[in-house]
Amino acid sequence: MSTNHYVPLPDSSRVPLDGARVIGPADPRTPLTVTVYLRRDPDAPPRPDLYELALQAPTRRTVPTDDEYAATNRWRDTDLKAVEAFAGEHRLAVSNENPLARSIQLTGTTEDVADAFRVTLARYRYQDAHDNPRIYRGREGAVHVPEELSGIVTGVFGLDDRPIGASLLIRRTEVSLPIAKAVPALPAGVFFPHQLAKPYDYPAGLDGTGQCIAVLAFNGETSPGVPSGGYSLSALKTYFTVLGLPVPNITDVVIPNVGSPGNDPGPGDATEDPFDSTGEIMLDLAVVGSLAPGAKIVVYFSKFTEQGWTDLVNRIATDTVNRPSVISCSYGNTEEGGPRWTPSGVSHVDGVFIDAGTKDISICCASGDDGSRDTNFGERAHADFPASSPHVLGVGGTHLVVKAGVVDKEIVWDDGPRARTGGGISRMFAVPPYQAGLTMPVAANPPHVHGRGVPDVSAVASRNTGVVIPNVDGVHADLVGGTSAAAPMWAALLARINQGLGHRVGFLNPNLYAHFATGVLRDITVGSNGAYPSGPGWDPCTGLGSPGGQQLLDGLKAL
């Protein structure tokens, strides 16, 4: 293969993180693995239209078989051989071929990998949101591929390992309850997760049996020997035993060669490293395990990088061993990734969401915890990705008051700056067909575009009416909130509904908006998240509302 003429890979260009500066070259001798994605075979059979598929009643829907999915998503063998030949010319080893995801990994020295893709890799130093110094391996400009591979290679991820994504968990640090021996008395107005089943009318007699819920878990060492995120099974056993609940069935999957150590629990307190996701993972497992105790839970570990995201979601969507039916995602970033996401990364992840939808996998994504500005410095409004993808169920947050097991009041979650529900109008994704009939605001920022509205639904997220989860120490329980609590609530609900239907709900949004926009969910009409107010019907704070679980199950059965 001639490699004399290289061309830029579309949508791959990078700029440094805000405030980052080069402190030296990347070590040329360090091993480096990148993941290369290939095009779909142009001669493959057409893929099903996700929107047409999703509008069918779940009980009468026909989804592709494994063989049909493989046929429609295959790569072209000659394309694979061309990439393998390119790897050989640059002394790069080939591993982890995934035909369903059309991905392979290439490993070599940093010098050889950088030369192969015509990039300059350097070490950058920046200050994180907590004013801590951080270092990442980065690049500027585009990735390049030989002209012969143009159009064949669709993405190259792993050259740059800057962090992408943040846990959407809000702590109430002044509350820490002993739980090692007996159920503690809770502060007024807060909940153990299983106590939300009654006010949210989760279908009784169902527990998610037969379902598999995928939980996203991002970590990765930010300094040698420092734990970076995981869970304690013994702490979870103590928690569930004290509450009289079954201990969840948990399986771990570690995405190879992306820098994640797997289950690596840190201290799990409010002083932890902001890139230690232990509290988030414990939250997700406590909520899912409490509200869908019969479901199998698979924790997919990857790293907070673009490569980590793309490889993780592809692994879930193509997992023919565990076969997840629901995905719970409690992480996100401002969708205009700028120095975080590349357009290529967003496109690849969203493409996997489409593929997952054609396999009847539901995806629940937290919409953000800093109101309409979405953790972006300044007050401009932004939507949060991946919740802003039109192919996921975006989940916002509420403030919930329950009396005698019945909802007394539920309003938009707004506890002040950096503690309010995310939501807004996407500047990256157009209005999807299922939202076309809504009266929607334009984006608050000039040029005031029309776009995908976020979120679709909501659930309790206020730390003042939040959920109590186990601390990783196995002795205490912590009171937390955030839309990362609301997303697994919806994931657990959909698992129970799947069980009740005897079929997967899959991509819920088209049927949700077409048939259940009123009279099924609890419409939240009071409050705002900054730039956007709530009101009757859909709004960019809480979407169509909070769960009416049995009503939704009954409605889906009647389709």
Tens digit of pLDDT for each residue in 231-254?
A: 999 999 999 999 999 999 999 999
Give the strand pairing for 21-25 and 103-109: unpaired
DSSP state letters, 174-206: EEEEE-SSSPPPPPTT-B-GGGGTTTTTPPTT-
* Span of 3-17, 67-81, 541-555 with lowest mean pLDDT: 3-17
Question: Is 382's pLDDT higher than 90?
Answer: no
DSSP string, 29-70: TSEEEEEEEEPPPTTSPPPPPHHHHHHS-GGG--PPPHHHHH
DSSP states along 464-499: GG-EEEE-TTSSEEEEEESHHHHHHHHHHHHHHHHH
Catalytic: which of 112, 264, 280, 336? 280
Return the pLDDT at 116.
98
Residue 276 falls in the annotated catalytic set? no
Confidence at residue 336, expressed as pLDDT on a 0 to 100 scale: 72
What is the per-residue pLDDT for 337?
58
pLDDT of residue 376: 61
Q: What are the residue ranges spanned by the domains of the chain?
A: 6-39+75-157, 176-422+448-558
Residue 284 designated active-site = yes
- State the pLDDT at residue 380: 78
pLDDT for position 191: 96
Confidence at residue 269, expressed as pLDDT on a 0 to 100 scale = 61
Q: Place 131 in a pLDDT band, splitting at 50, 70 and 90.
A: confident
Alpha-helix runs per DSSP H in 204-265: 233-242
Contact 209, 499 (CB under 8 A): yes
- DSSP assignment letter at 9: P
Give the CATH fold of the 176-422+448-558 domain: Rossmann fold (3.40.50)
pLDDT in tens, 27-84: 999 999 999 999 999 999 999 999 999 999 999 999 999 999 999 999 999 999 999 9
By percentage, how much of the chain surpasses pLDDT 70?
96
pLDDT tens sequence across 303-313: 999 999 999 99
Instruction: Tell me the mean pLDDT in the region 8-32.
Output: 96
What's the distance, Cα to Cα, between the start and end of the chain in Å?
55
Residue of 103, 290, 484, 534 with catalytic role: 484
Q: pTM value?
A: 0.96
Digit-coded pLDDT (tens) for 85-119: 999 999 999 999 999 999 999 999 999 999 999 99
Residue 393: its pLDDT value, please? 98
Give percent of the chain with pLDDT exceeding 90.
Answer: 84
Does the active-site annotation cover 280? yes
Interior/surface letters 519-532, b for 16+ CB within 10 angstroms, e for the rest: ebbbbbbbbbbbbb
**Mean pLDDT score, 527-551:** 97
pLDDT exceeds cutoff 90 at 377: no
